[in-house]
């Protein structure tokens, strides 16, 4: 799961999120409810894509990259994992004996589905990011392509929480958690792996120990690159304090700043989504642009009506006139 301990940060300015919202849109502070979700929705760190056959598939942490499938984005069933049991990579055992993979990221490019994920020993830098590919994206069809990046005690980063950006023929991977936070490295778009020893760029961290920022994802919309990240404590049930923050830059490698101009290398980041009603500790997010004309924010939360269980949630994203994302109602 996306690495956590404790988190904290500044509140986004109301002005930035209240600028020229569409008619009927709630302010960011009200956090409209996500889309209804039913069935087997217990999932951590979801990443979601619509397959060629029209089904939605959400992969998440644990098991063999937990797979949940839906035909309507509402009713979900668990259908095994990304890997068939006989195809689980043996190298995982060098990094973990528990929990198996965490925090996957799925994308589609060059005629195949690319699934990045992490394996790690909890609370350590004994971590690695792996890649698997599939022609269909369906559960049980992924083939291991090996280790993309690893880390060990004393490294300046932790090799978990991958997310990739395909941008004009180039491929970038965001990763990292705690220690010095979130980083980015360029990958070879033909193989999905590193070529040579490309530089690793620092994108975000916190000035306060334990530097609790993780689960970074960079997307491109218009001329801006946006860095979404989770702050504070994940994975603690009703004690979770996760929240989602965002900054932007004119380049994929930053520097990323929030709407007040504060750098995400110094604790910046506008608050996009926090606690709301039964939806506690939202985070481990994945942004899906242009799904049927909608931009979606996919994440997990801890359900106060079900004892703090983690569940899948999908909210709709809108954009202010100034170009900042905001959670908006799922209808209208």
| CATH number of residue 160's parent domain | 2.115.10.20
User: Has residue 8 been placed in a domain?
Assistant: no
Q: Maximum distance among all alpha carbons in the chain?
A: 53
Contacts of 201 (CB under 8 A, 6+ apart): 183, 184, 185, 253, 254
Is 214 one of the catalytic residues?
yes
Q: What are phi and psi of 239, to 5 degrees?
A: -95, 5
The pLDDT of residue 19 is 32
Give the pairing of strands 56-60 and 270-273: unpaired
Cis peptide before 208 (omega within 30 of 0): no
Inside any domain, residue 213: yes
Nearest to 231 by CA among 217, 251, 214, 248: 214
Name the phi and psi angles at 229, rounded to 5. -150, 155
61 lies in some domain: yes
**Structural domain harbouring 159:** 14-327
- Tracing tokens 């990323």 back to the chain, one arrives at 256
| Number of structural domains in the chain | 1
**Separation CA 87–CA 65 (nearest Å):** 12
Closest CA to 32 of 40, 22, 19: 22
The single residue of 66, 105, 214, 303 carrying the catalytic annotation is 214
Cα distance between residue 177 and residue 38, in whole Å: 31
First-to-last alpha carbon distance for the chain, in angstroms, is 34
Does 105 reside within a domain? yes
CA-nearest of 41, 65, 47 to 303 is 41
Q: Omega into 190 within 30° of 0, i.e. cis?
A: no
Q: Is residue 1 domain-resident?
A: no
**3 is a domain residue:** no
| Residue 74 included in any domain | yes
Give pLDDT < 50 ranges for the chain: 1-29
Sole residue written with tokens 């590919």? 133
What is the spatial distance between Cα 187 and Cα 164, in angstroms, rounded to a whole number?
A: 9
């Amino acid at each position: 799961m996306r690495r956590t301990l404790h988190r904290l940060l500044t509140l986004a300015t109301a002005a930035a999120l209240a600028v020229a919202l569409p008619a009927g849109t709630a302010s960011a502070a009200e956090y409209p409810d996500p889309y209804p979700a039913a069935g087997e929705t217990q999932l951590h760190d979801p990443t979601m894509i619509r397959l060629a056959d029209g089904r939605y598939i959400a992969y998440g942490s644990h098991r063999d990259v937990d797979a949940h499938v839906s035909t309507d984005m509402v009713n979900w069933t668990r259908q095994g994992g990304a890997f068939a049991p006989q195809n689980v990579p043996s190298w995982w055992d060098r990094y973990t004996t528990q929990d198996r993979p965490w925090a996957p990221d799925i994308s589609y490019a060059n005629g195949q589905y690319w699934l990045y994920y992490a394996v790690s020993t909890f609370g350590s830098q004994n971590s690695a990011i792996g890649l698997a590919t599939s022609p269909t994206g369906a559960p049980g069809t992924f083939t291991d392509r090996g280790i993309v990046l690893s880390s060990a005690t004393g490294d300046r980063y932790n090799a978990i929480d991958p997310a990739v950006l395909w941008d004009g023929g180039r491929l970038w991977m965001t990763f990292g958690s705690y220690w010095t936070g979130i980083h980015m490295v360029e990958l070879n778009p033909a193989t999905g792996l590193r070529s040579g020893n490309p530089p690793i760029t620092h994108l975000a961290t916190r000035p306060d120990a334990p530097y609790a920022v993780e689960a970074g994802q960079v997307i491109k919309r218009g001329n801006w690159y946006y860095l979404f990240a989770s702050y504070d404590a994940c994975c603690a049930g009703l004690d979770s304090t996760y929240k989602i923050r965002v900054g932007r830059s004119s380049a994929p490698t930053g520097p990323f700043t929030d709407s007040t101009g504060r750098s995400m290398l110094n604790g910046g980041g506008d608050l996009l989504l926090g606690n709301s009603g039964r939806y506690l500790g939202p985070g481990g997010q994945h942004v899906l642009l242009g799904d049927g004309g909608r931009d979606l924010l996919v994440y997990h939360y801890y359900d106060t009506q079900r004892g703090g269980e983690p569940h899948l949630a999908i909210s709709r994203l809108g954009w202010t006139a100034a170009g900042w994302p905001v959670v908006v109602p799922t209808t209208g």
